[in-house]
Amino acid sequence: MSRYWSDIVHRLVPYVPGEQPALAKPVKLNTNENPYPPSPRVLDAIRAELGEHAESLRRYPDPIAKRLRATVAAHHGLRADQVFVGNGSDEVLAHAFQALLKHDLPILFPDISYSFYPTYARLYDVQYRTVPLDAAFAIRIEDYAQPNGGVIFPNPNAPTGHALPLAQIEKLVAANANSVVIVDEAYVDFGAESAIALIDRYPNLLVVHTTSKSRSLAGMRVGFAFGHADLIDALNRVKDSFNSYPLDRLAQAAAVAAYEDVEWLRSTREHVMASRARLTASLAALGFEVVPSAANFVFARHPAHDAAAIGAKLREQEIFVRHFNAPRIDQHLRITIGTDDECDTLVAALKRIVK
Amino acid sequence: MSRYWSDIVHRLVPYVPGEQPALAKPVKLNTNENPYPPSPRVLDAIRAELGEHAESLRRYPDPIAKRLRATVAAHHGLRADQVFVGNGSDEVLAHAFQALLKHDLPILFPDISYSFYPTYARLYDVQYRTVPLDAAFAIRIEDYAQPNGGVIFPNPNAPTGHALPLAQIEKLVAANANSVVIVDEAYVDFGAESAIALIDRYPNLLVVHTTSKSRSLAGMRVGFAFGHADLIDALNRVKDSFNSYPLDRLAQAAAVAAYEDVEWLRSTREHVMASRARLTASLAALGFEVVPSAANFVFARHPAHDAAAIGAKLREQEIFVRHFNAPRIDQHLRITIGTDDECDTLVAALKRIVK
């Protein structure tokens, strides 16, 4: 607290990311990282960019990430002017809140959702109203048929893992022609349908992606927004009023290589999805109720054991999962899909806890 | 232009960074990059972080850059809680405008200064008033003795290269105890006195640094703010409401290594300063008036030749310098100090142009 702070700082409620334990070998299932490394081509691309003496690093990176945008646009069947690149999808979302969601009417998002959304809203003084998910943690699109300044939701949703079918998303986008609908698809590659297919028909649709999950590049901070060129233009105007060069040279090179290796993506995500089915079955066998997940995590509760207590006991064994102390979900744990070995370690520990 | 844009987007005037020519061997003296590569330790540190399979990249980076902040704090004789880290000093400055400069009174900065300042001010709806430099492009600190919501200026100033002595800065900071004074020291290592020495005595002082210039890491995007823990706290609250992980793993590793190699910094900046003296003399011999520079660039005009025309003719020869089409300085060129070879190529070309 200080008299030097701008007024807005006093009203902020900063986001708290999942813990990064400083242990040699934690079973780290708390921040939805991929259990597999990025494509080997990523390493080659970074080494090539570094050269013999890292001499390219003295030069600014490409401020508009031309090659990366072209690569990702081609991958998704889009034009480069339909692609925005940012320093992780968190930065992309922040710019979107400022550029596209600040209007007279409040924006809408689910009551159970990415907990960064209310934080962004406070940062830019964006009014918002939360819309309750149904009892099965599903979005009911008819609940969004109310005047609004924008709509944002993750699909699959976080932290539930529940996916909304594309036909439902299209109805929601079509019914909100006067405001921007942002579909935050951080986890889409693990089993949901992407709304990118709708972009050419709906000028009010923005789809946000990240390389942090399915492409194993959480450590490199690269995210995207896809949408009508007018929406991308707004994001670029904010970005160019904030930081000309948000992506360093190695991040751009790494992300290009990750998008070029389609086979690596296919293979690693299939592993994750198979492990998810296996973990879901093991948890169910221990009496957990598991929300059907289309993401690289599961959301589970045990009817006879307090979630925070389970989380604390796991932590004692250097197993980290995420617990949200929030209404409706404080009896759930969000568990990232690790390797089968990591999942087995978790299940063995849970067996001892709930026995 | 789009009905979906937030109001603020219509009012933005995005910053335009210097051109990044897509030529094999341009003589690129337009964005104040260092002509020498970063310390060899940077390459080693990045390789160590990558490991054999880049497996660490699947994991999020340290959101609070603990090791980097400790390294830089020790280097400057500060505590870690007096250090803020961002994605380049441009991001640091953006957060500072939002966190510390938005008050009822307008902020003050020089009429000739870093042209990003008015852009940030528009992004956050911060009122500002520019204060004219004197005829020799120097800041007169008595001109800042007026009610204000904050003061910001680069030292050495950009694009002039003129440095304000530390005693003058201290007077300015002391005279503005009710508002934050930000000293943007991107170029300080090339010959000015750092205001970091004043931090423990003035809770209203924020000093901003970057690894892009003297540490040859423009390609990696790492910047800092130094100040009282309360000011750093405000920046962290904004940062944690914007993007938890602004610096990727390789950028953090690179910056630590760059700060650890003090000898490399000393040697490369002495080369740059020697080349600056040599280039200044050559330009003077051709009839240019050169502002005495404490930065890695010089600001020069020729009384008989139009600056934009000189710039265009240089460009035809694949030599890039920066021209600002702005009042009072549209007859000047800002020329980055390159290697002696690059400076010689420039001088030879200028000789033909002004002969």
C-alpha distance from B304 to closest chain A C-alpha (Å): 33
Q: What is the pLDDT of residue B196?
A: 98
The shortest C-alpha distance from B204 to chain A (Å) reads 7
Query: Is the distance from CB of A62 to CB of A252 less than 8 angstroms?
Result: yes
Range of the domain at A322: 7-38+263-354
Tokens linked to B341: 């070879």
**pLDDT tens per residue across span A75-118:** 999 999 999 999 999 999 999 999 999 999 999 999 999 999 99
- Let me know: does A202 contact A166? Beta carbons within 8 Å: no
A243–B90 CB contact, under 8 Å: yes
CATH number at residue A31: 3.90.1150.10
Q: How far is A130 from chain B (nearest CA, A)?
A: 19
- Distance (Å, rounded) from C-alpha B79 to C-alpha B68? 12
Same structural domain, A48 and A145: yes
Residue of B nearest to A212 (CA): B58
Number of domains in chain B: 2
Residue B331: what pLDDT? 98
> What ipTM did this prediction achieve?
0.97
| pLDDT surpassing 80 at residue A24 | no
% chain B with pLDDT above 70? 100
Which of A220, A237, A261 finishes a domain?
A261
Question: How many other CB atoms sit within 10 Å of the CB of residue B281?
Answer: 11
Beta strands in B52-204 (DSSP E): 83-86, 107-110, 128-131, 151-154, 181-184
- The reply to whether residue B248 touches residue A248, judged by beta carbons under 8 angstroms, is yes
Q: Are residues A26 and A122 in the same domain?
A: no
Q: What is the pLDDT of residues A107-166, one digit of tens each?
A: 999 999 999 999 999 999 999 999 999 999 999 999 999 999 999 999 999 999 999 999
From chain B, the residues in CB contact with A1 under 8 A are: 230
Q: Which residues, in sequence order, are CB contacts of B51 under 8 Å at separation 6+?
A: none
User: Residue A132: how many CA atoms within 13 Å on its side-chain side?
Assistant: 6
Cα dist. A257→A75, A132, A139, B236 in Å? 12, 40, 35, 32
A95 and A211: one domain? yes
Place of tokens 């209310």: A118
Q: Report the Cα B244 to chain-centroid distance in Å.
A: 24
Mean pLDDT of A260-271: 98
Mean pLDDT of B36-56: 96
What is the C-alpha to C-alpha distance for residues B78 and B199, in angstroms, rounded to an integer?
9
Distance CA B88, CA B110 (A): 22
Beta carbons within 10 angstroms of residue A305's beta carbon:
17
Whose CA is closest to B210, among B61, B89, B343?
A: B89
- Judgement on whether residues A270 and A316 belong to the same structural domain of the protein: yes
Beta carbons within 8 Å of B17's beta carbon, 6+ residues apart: A60, A63, A244, A245, B31
Q: Is there a contact between A58 and B42 if contact means CB atoms under 8 Å apart? A: no
B255 and B267 inside one domain: no
Residue B104 pLDDT grade (very low, low, confident, very high; cuts 50, 70, 90): very high
How far separated are the first and last CA of chain B, in Å rounded? Answer: 47
Final residue of a structural domain among B261, B288, B321: B261
Q: Are residues A268 and A168 in the same domain?
A: no
Pairing of strands B107-110, B128-131: parallel
B323, part of any domain? yes
Give B186→chain A minimum CA distance, Å. 14
Same domain membership, residue B198 and residue B269: no
> In what side-by-side order are the strands of the sheet with B151-154?
B83-86, B223-227, B205-210, B181-184, B151-154, B107-110, B128-131
Q: Residue A198: which CATH number?
A: 3.40.640.10
Q: Is residue A2 part of a domain?
A: no
Is there a single domain that holds both residue B110 and residue B243?
yes
| A-chain residues near B241 (CB < 8 A) | 12-15, 119-120, 122-123
Residue A248 and residue B220: Cβ atoms within 8 Å?
Answer: yes
Whether B242 and A103 lie within 8 Å, measured CB to CB? no
**Which chain A residues are Cβ-neighbours of B242 within 8 angstroms?**
90-91, 94, 120, 123
Q: What is the CA radius of gyration of chain A?
A: 20
Q: Is residue A194 part of a domain?
A: yes
Per-residue pLDDT band for B355 (boundaries 50, 70, 90) equals confident
In this complex, the residue of B3, B60, B218 whose CB is nearest that of residue A33 is B60
Domain for residue B256, yes or no? yes
Residue B1: the pLDDT is 63
- Look at residue B244 and tell me if it is in a domain: yes
- B16 shares its domain with B98: no
Model pLDDT, residue A21: 85
Shared domain check, B292 and B218: no
Does residue A257 lie in a domain region? Answer: yes
Q: Give A328's contacts (C-beta < 8 A, 6+ positions apart).
A: A111, A112
Q: Are residues A135 and A157 in the same domain?
A: yes
Choosing from B261, B287, B318, the residue where a domain stops is: B261
B89 in any annotated domain? yes
Phi first, then psi: give them for residue A334, nearest 5 degrees. Answer: -100, 120
Bond from prior residue into A159 cis (ω within 30 degrees of 0): yes
Residue type, B276: R
The pLDDT tens digits for A244-253 are 999 999 999 9
Does the pTM exceed 0.90?
A: yes
How near does any CA of chain A get to the CA of B307, in Å? 25
Distance from CA of A234 to the nearest CA of B (A): 6
Are both B18 and B48 inside the same structural domain? no
Question: What is the rounded CA–CA span in Å between residue A84 and residue A65?
Answer: 9
> Has residue A1 got a pLDDT over 80?
no
pLDDT at A242: 98
Q: Which residue, A38, A35, A29, A59, is CA-closest to B50?
A: A38
Disruptive mutation site among B241, B249, B269, B320 for chain A (greatest number of A CBs within 10 Å): B241
Taking CB atoms and an 8 Å cutoff, what residues of chain B touch A56? 219
A35 chain-B contacts, CB cut-off 8 A: 58
Question: Under an 8 A CB cutoff, do B46 and A59 touch?
Answer: no
Structure tokens at B351: 């000789």
A282 vs A287: CA distance, rounded Å: 9
Provide the number of CB pairs (under 8 Å) joining chain A to chain B: 277
Residue in A351, A343, A302 with CA at minimum distance from that of residue A29: A343
* pLDDT one-digit tens code per residue, B176-235: 999 999 999 999 999 999 999 999 999 999 999 999 999 999 999 999 999 999 999 999
Q: Contact at 8 Å (CB) between A179 and B4?
A: yes
